[in-house]
Structure 1
Amino acid sequence: MIRFDHISKQYRGTSRPALGDVSFEAQRGEFVFLVGASGSGKSSCLRLILKEERPSKGKIHVLGQDLGTISSRKVPYFRRNIGVVFQDFRLLPNKTVHQNVAFTLQVIGKSRGYIQEAVPDVLKMVGLEGKAQRMPHELSGGEQQRVAIARAVVNKPQILLADEPTGNLDPATSAGIMNVLERINAGGTTIIMATHEAMFVDQMKKRVIELSQGEIVRDERHGGYGVTAAIPLVKPAPAPTEPATVQLTTGVVVPVAAPARQPAATPAAEIPAAVRPATTPAAATAAPEPAPEASPADGKQPDNVRPITRANPVAHPAEMSLAERLGLRANGTDGGDYDDQNVGPVK
């Protein structure tokens, strides 16, 4: 299913490789935890599997294909067999739960009838039945992550990559997310999950691959989190209340301290547009374009002003960014043009 053969990865401007001579193989239907300190190479492994990065040395085989031989044009088709779940959810804030989940199917050109059947089924599976018309800001953090998981698996991928999917959630909510992932894995989907959450790794007793400074230092089946070089996360002191418990489908019940209450986020609809933050990383970092100078009285354009032309209509920038991040290239790079309303191939 996934095989790394002596993989090394070094990024420009770094003296130490992110990965050094890494070899492992994940079988169909396995649930594999990648553990280790921040910077140990976990996220690099996920990016290499998704073919977001190329290895400096070695070969990677995923789903029977040598990733080094896949052309750039065929990468989007390859990625349709891989679902991705992010720590920060990456939901489209101006679309409902149903529309967020349908997004993946629209981009790859599934019919409206197929989408109307598939989306309710996957929402029921992740425990969001009845919330299809809610907006992201109306959901809790755990519910938003369930939407992200539904979006990742609605196309029934053979592999699901999860990069710290519970990193922003409290222990009880995280347990619910892990239950969802466990059910998906039980259906035959291979899951590779990078995490710092020792409790769930210890409870679930799945395969554990530990990375340290870009090298595999432990590959253990039915293992636990172990003593890694990971820097422990500093969490707020628990409130003086009776300890809560969380339970995975394995039947193990573990007491956990009740997390400190975080202030409720202000719904996006209540935040004035002038101060509302950007909704995507790209939008958050991009500097606003300066307004063009006014045309002179003679009607001639100044030399520093050039007309903006667009050969084909494209989707909203936030949707385009998400499509790229999910590996579903838009704007004709996989053979079709895309419209602004449906984000899918123009019929």
Structure 2
Amino acid sequence: MNYVYTNHTIGSNYSVTIDTQATFVASVIFLISILATVFLLYNLLSSAYKRSVIKNEELTSLKNSIEAKNSILKQYNSAMLELTRTPILEGNLDVTLEKVADVARDILSLPRVSIWFFSDDKQRLIKKLLIENGKADPTPIELHRGDFPRYFEAVENQPVIMAPLASSHPDTAEFTSNYLEPLNIKSMLDCPIVQDKGVIGVICCEQKKFVRNWVAEDALIIQSLADFIAMHFKNQKIKTLMTQLTEQNKELSLKSNEIASMNQELHGLNQKLIENNSTLEDTVRKRTKELITQNNQLKEYAFVNSHMLRAPLSSILGLSNILQMKSDNMEEQELLEALFQSTNNLDEIVRKISSTLEDGSNLTRKDIDYIINERFKESEKE
């Protein structure tokens, strides 16, 4: 709007017109700046709102993920408590493996779970259990190290094999043509079963039809189930050792009782021995006294034998000798010779008996028979 005052000069009219235009321009600029500020604030608020919405969605997703993981963990804890508290599992490997496979299948929503064990020579993996869609497959299957060397090496050296795309994963690609594709298996999660620092088997979890991106919680759950199986074997080993120790303790107890009984018997025998020794000493003393008496009697007999019995024998020998000298008859000579020889033998025997008795040697009937027989042999030789 232009304001013109006619009662002023031309210069004054021109000055008023310029001031009015400047005011208008300033108003327009101010209005534009306000609009720009409003637009900028709108954009900032709109961007902040969008970021807030995205953040809320992320937080909601994260919250849902955490709640889902917590639910899985709660379910897993409940299942593990049930496993550890089930008495039927003790000593029953087949039931234990079935329960473990059911826990893995239910918690991780798996269509296919299998459990394998190494052969003694570590050259084969032998299928012990295969559960697919809730049903057990009894078909026997063996995997040979020569056919799948990379997989065997991975099982023995890695804590877990996580293969979202099993056909292209380096540790599971060996199964593609003859296992993964025919069965439409897309993903594999395998965990070794370790006992005493050695791998004895593997739990194999498989996802069919679609690719599954395994997460750390999945691996931890399968590892704990593998440890549970290993603990079953360790418990069985401990129970076996405890049974052996119990049997050994029973044997030791029986032997201890036998030893105690033998000690009692030995004690009784020792007492009897002591009593017998006491009786034996009395018997020995008595027998010794008797022997001394007998020896004295024998010595007396030896004296009598050497001084009284030999005197008549000597006389007989003398008379025999005289008769032989005076007789001219040959028959009498032979008879006197025989009488002389017999008397001489008797004298020799008496002399040996006397010398034996005087020496203090024991003399029995066998000794006397021996002396007589030897003397008769000498006579026959003469």
| TM-score normalised by the chain length of structure 2 | 0.21
Whichever structure has more helix as a proportion of its residues is 2
Higher relative contact order (CA 8 A, sep 6+): 1
More strand per residue? 1
Give 1 or 2 for the bigger CA radius of gyration: 2
